[in-house]
Structures are given as structure tokens and as C-alpha cells.
Amino acid sequence: MSITPTPEEAREALRDVDRRRGQTAAAAGRSRWTWLAAGVLVAAYGVLADRYPDFVRTYGTSIVILLLLLSMAGNTRWGAALLRRPVRSRITPSPAALLWSALALALLIGGTALATALDVAHVWLWSGLFIGVLLAAAGPWWQRRVLTRVA
């Protein structure tokens, strides 16, 4: 026995689906403060690398490995439980998204390597600030875009 919904009921059901999709994306994402903190850490690392190269030579690899482990831990079930984050479903990226991400990463790394090879002054400072501001400003937007497309 099938009952056809009225147009108002169909509109309300679609609004409810959109609202729940937004709730799911918001629950699965990181907070804006996390993106801001990541941006500040990357910018601070760039400033430290430029102003105090001995500090970065001594502790730089340890700092980067610690931050990468923390980032990876937040994306596993065990790490999410440890960090008291809700466990989210695995997001399978599309090949086009992976290609664009790889291209952007290659441009950032290539640009920094080229500027270093050309002896441009304060390369670490400017690249750290640029990437930090990019993370802080575009990170929440990108996350929301990816999660709402997947949800």
C-alpha cells in the first residue's frame, strides 16, 4: 500500500534531509579552533625555521613527526576515542580530488624549493606564513565542502 506524499510533505522531507546532512557534516568535522591552531603552528614553525635555524635543525624533525602523528591519530578509531572525538565514516576521495590535492602540494613544495635554490630571503618565514594562513582561512571551508558532498 503506497501513499503519495503531498508537495508540502515532500518539501519538508527534503528540508529535513538537508538539515540532517549539515548536522552530520558538522559532527564529523574538526572545529574552527583546530584549523586556526594548525595554521598558527605551521606559521610559527616557518618563523622558527627562518629566525632560529639551529633550533629547527635540533628539534624540527621531532616537532614535525609529533604533529603528523597527532593528525593521524585523530583520523583513526583508537586516536579519535583517545582525543574524545566522534568516530566518523571513512571518506573515499575521488581521483580528481586526489589529483588536485597532489598538484597543490607539488606546487607548494616546488615553489618553496625553487625559492630556496634561488636564495630568496626569508623563504621559510614566507612559506610558513602563507601555508599557515591558508590552513586557518581555507581549512574550515574545504572541510565543510568535502563533508557535505560526502554526506
Residue 72 has what pLDDT? 79
> Average pLDDT of 7-25?
82
In this structure, of 1-15, 29-43, 137-151, the range with the lowest mean pLDDT score is 137-151
Residue 101 has what pLDDT? 84
Q: Is 122 left (phi over 0), alpha (psi -120 to 50) or beta?
A: left
Q: Is residue 17 pLDDT above 70, yes or no?
A: yes
Q: Is residue 4 pLDDT above 90, yes or no?
A: no
| 43: exposed, middle or buried (Cβ count in 10 Å: 0-12, 13-18, 19+) | buried
What percent of the chain clears pLDDT 90, i.e. is strictly above it? 11
The residue whose grid cell reads 598558527 is 40
Q: Is residue 55 pLDDT above 80, yes or no?
A: yes
pLDDT band at 86 (very low <50, low <70, confident <90, very high): low
Spatial contact of 49 and 63, defined as CB atoms under 8 Å apart: no
Please give the grid coordinates belonging to residue 4.
503519495
